[in-house]
Amino acid sequence: MHMANQSTYRILDYSDLGLVDYKTAWDLQKEIFNLRLMNEINDTFFLLEHPHTYTLGKVAEKENLLSSSEQLEELGISVYEIDRGGDITYHGPGQIVGYPIINLINWKQDTHQYLRGLEEVIMLTCQDYGIKTERNPNYTGVWIGSRKITAIGIKVSRWITMHGFAFNVNTDLNFFGGIIPCGIKDKEVTSLSKEIGNEILLSEVKEKLVSNFQKVFDYKKIIIREKDSYLKTLINIS
């Protein structure tokens, strides 16, 4: 396993994109991926929310989408088949989605270590709120007993990462009823607000996520970028 030179001064660009259509964010990821691959930008970390969306990863079983097309239309839920690992999951308001687009050559050339790192970011953030979480040896993600609080699905190409995590904070968990989340039938989903007993400011959770991401992935400096500097590069903004 390749370890980055510990003296490397690593910089992370961070942007809070707010509420962004899934397709718009996916297009942006691809754009940023190409720029990172050509070494034209720093490692980049986006936090955002999506409108109601179900996404199916490369190995997803179609039968894990339980909702009919009529139900999807009635509830205003979009469906996308995408290029990350993992099965089916839900994105929606109140859930913080994290998309790190980083070069693992400068950290550790190990996708499993990267997955464990993403889990650690969420676990530290939950710990900040007094919530004890754990890993499940059989499934990627972050758990509180048999309740999943964060789904993780990534794509790594030429050691550059895409996609990331979906952290249920103030999420309406009823929308998980239209799917078998991650194809796992005997487990529940939960959220930070459900575990704590009240809603939490998303901006506060995002600050903690960025701080913990910096800690886990060993960045010396964070540069905060305005979302418009990213979104205006795309022609079709929803």
Does residue 126 carry a catalytic annotation? no
User: What does the block give as tokens for 69?
Assistant: 């097309």
Q: Cα(first)–Cα(last) distance of the chain, in Å? A: 41
> How many helices (DSSP H) and strands (DSSP E) are in the chain?
6, 12
Kindly report the length of the chain.
Answer: 238
Residues in contact with 95: Cβ distance below 8 Å, sequence separation at least 6, in sequence order: 49, 50, 166, 167, 168, 169, 170, 171, 191
Name residue, tokens 């990462």. 161
As to burial, measured by CB atoms within 10 angstroms (0-12 exposed, 13-18 middle, 19+ buried), residue 84 is buried
Residues in contact with 236: Cβ distance below 8 Å, sequence separation at least 6, in sequence order: 24, 27
Instruction: Catalytic residue, from 17, 115, 182, 192: name it.
Output: 182
Q: What angle do CA 226, 231, 236 make, to 5 degrees?
A: 165
Active site positions, annotated: 182
